[in-house]
Amino acid sequence: MSSSKARHSETPSKNGKKKPSQQAAAALDGDIKPPVKVVKRDGRVVAFDIERIETAIKLCFQSIDRESGTPISDLAQQVVNIVSAKFEEPSVESIQDTVEMVLQANGEYEAAKSYILYRADHAKERSERPIPERVRTAFEESDIFFPTQLQKFQFYDKYSRFNYELGRRETWVETIDRAVSYLRELSEYRLPAESYERMRMSMLEMKAMTSMRLLAMAGPAARRNNICIYNCSYLPVDSIDSFVEALIISMCGCGVGYSVESQYVENFPRVRRQRNVAPIKYVVEDSAEGWAAALRIGLQTWFDGGDIQFDYSEIRPAGAPLRIKGGRASGPEPLRKMLDFTRTRILARQGSFLRSIEAHDIMCAVGSAAVSGGVRRTAMISLFDFDDHDMLMAKAGDFERHNSQRWNANNSAVWPSRPLNQIEISRYILNMAESGRGEPGIFNRISAVNSIPERRKNAVFGTNPCGEIILRPFEFCNLSIAIARPEDNLTTLKDKVEVATMIGTIQSMAT
């Protein structure tokens, strides 16, 4: 918490000093357990030790050559109480921020200033500290594979995982080795060593590549849930399971194409009227599967005429590091908003059936919940009947004032199997132009089916969020990449495609 925020909660005491902030007082009243671990700046996790806080505060007062008006141990305990209430696994920075806030809340402004200057000096020292030679060498060995600075930036920004054992981010070589190791594991080491080395060198030299999702998630995250190695998927919204599956898929960073065509949405049961019974209580588990389970029981309860009260206390706070998946936790708020929104939409249909627009809105809300560190994890496209007026107008006017969740999905109408006349086509294209957004788009399923082999024509295909590939219901897009360059010839292109095919075949074994 910043010092400006801390001052709002101060109240003067008789001696002119400030009492502890209301947040600290509330923390003192509660039964709060101190943290067990602390995340250091280099990513290492160490045991929490209150004596280190006491020592820092004591040195702070020694630097200004006076005693604290409040016992050092009391100040340290206030810091611990606030940190415990806000963070399950605090960082060094969050603890130091809290020390600043507690000093100011207790009227120790001179000490707080000294502590702020102390932190600034040490931050400067850290920035000027020489890089260890082994670290410099590791990064220099990887730099030779990046033709441009932009490529290097994209890698470190999007794909280089933090290695907690080394206390730093991965190099390009280390990332490729992690990905190839996972490919070996998936293929059960059945290929000759030369084949794996061929894949490794092609990836290092950016000639052929796994899916970029696999590059980011290979290892513990992919072992826990292999959905995260795929870029996109498709499913029809025909049951409660569709919403739950979409949440799990989205939280894995995989895009979701979905259909709210009447042939699917009409399968939902009638929403029973509320029976005015006491809501059941449900504790949400702190995992992607736990969030999905909460959504499932919420949907089942609301459709059945009951209500439910969720307990989010087990969910780690916003900003907590996600050690396996990578990034930072979003905290419980996105889930809370999504569940509240879903409840409102379903209860509005008591005694009736869910319409395509409500199914679409709930799917969009699911996409909103799948965030990490404030960044959306998923992309979506919604397919709907050509004559569905509600969906045609889903993004009309200033829809975002009351339905901002609809930004989470692109919308495309499924054109009917019958031929359209010139007037119908012109009217539709004009509506797209007048929207200023190019929506709703067009999904011509008949044309797509006519272009595929006979053996695949029985499935009712949808599309991935980009609209670049058709997918069967509940199918994932298995992407591997052959990277064409201006200097390529037939021989080099054949080699790249062959390696990409090997990679794609192995990836298909994940799920």
Residue 434 has pLDDT above 50, yes or no: yes
pLDDT for the residue numbered 372:
59
Q: Both 305 and 327 in a single domain? A: yes
Q: Mean per-residue pLDDT for 233-256?
A: 95
Q: Residue 56: which of 73, 42, 33, 36 has the closest Cα?
A: 73
Q: What is the domain count for the chain?
A: 3
Model confidence band, residue 488 (pLDDT cutoffs 50, 70, 90): very high
What whole-number distance in Å separates Cα of residue 96 and Cα of residue 112?
Answer: 11
- Chain segment 294-306, per-residue pLDDT in tens: 999 999 999 999 9
User: What is the per-residue pLDDT for 18?
Assistant: 39
**Within this chain, do residues 342 and 364 fall inside the same structural domain, yes or no?**
yes
Q: Do 241 and 184 belong together in one domain?
A: no
Q: Is residue 381's pLDDT more than 60?
A: yes
Task: Copy the structure tokens of residue 286.
Answer: 């702190």
pLDDT band at 438 (very low <50, low <70, confident <90, very high): confident
Domain shared by 236 and 309, yes or no: yes
Q: What percentage of the chain has pLDDT greater than the value 70?
A: 92
- How much is the pLDDT for 497? 98
Q: Is the per-residue pLDDT at 85 higher than 90?
A: no
Q: Which of 111, 128, 145 is the last residue of a domain?
A: 128
pLDDT at position 482: 97
Residues 86 and 145 both lie in one domain: no
22 and 117 fall within a common domain: yes
Q: What is the pLDDT of residue 43?
A: 67
Residues 462 and 487 reside in one and the same domain: no
Chain CA centroid to CA 313, Å: 20
What are 105-164's pLDDT values in tens digits?
999 999 999 999 989 988 888 888 888 888 999 999 999 999 999 999 999 998 999 888
> Using CA atoms, how far apart are residues 414 and 62, in angstroms rounded to an integer?
73
Q: Which domain holds residue 201?
A: 134-230+478-511
One domain, residues 449 and 497? no
The predicted structure's pLDDT at residue 350: 96
Q: State whether 94 and 157 are in the same domain.
A: no
End-to-end Cα distance, the chain: 44
pTM: predicted TM-score of the whole model, two decimal places: 0.77
- pLDDT of the residue at 370: 85
Nearest to 269 by CA among 205, 197, 331, 353: 353
Same domain? For 459 and 349 the reply is: yes
Residues 6+ apart with CB under 8 A from 84: 27, 32, 33, 34, 35
Lowest mean pLDDT: which of 4-18, 72-86, 211-225, 489-503?
A: 4-18
Nearest CA-CA partner of 8 in 82, 91, 81, 101: 101
Which position has the higher pLDDT, 270 or 26? 270
φ/ψ of residue 321, rounded to 5 = -70, 140
- Distance in angstroms (rounded) separating the CA atoms of residues 400 and 408: 11
Q: What is the CA radius of gyration of the chain?
A: 28
Average pLDDT value for residue range 331-336: 92
359: pLDDT strictly greater than 50: yes
Q: Pick the last residue of a domain from 67, 101, 128.
A: 128
Residue 375 has pLDDT above 70, yes or no: no
Same domain, 166 and 239: no
Average pLDDT over residues 90-95: 89
Per-residue pLDDT at 447: 86
Instruction: Say what percent of the chain tops pLDDT 90.
Output: 59
Q: What is the pLDDT of residue 282?
A: 95
Give 369's contacts (C-beta < 8 A, 6+ positions apart).
247, 250, 251, 291, 334, 335, 337, 338
Among 128, 152, 167, identify where a domain stops: 128
> Does position 324 have pLDDT exceeding 50, yes or no?
yes
What's the pLDDT score for residue 19? 41
DSSP character at residue 328? B
Give the residue-averaged pLDDT of 349-354.
96
Give the pLDDT score at 31.
57
Q: What is the pLDDT of residues 20-66, one digit of tens each?
A: 444 444 444 445 678 888 888 776 778 899 999 999 999 989 999 88
| Residues 110 and 163 reside in one and the same domain | no
pLDDT tier for residue 459 given thresholds of 50, 70 and 90 = confident
**Per-residue confidence (pLDDT) for residue 28, from 0 to 100:** 43
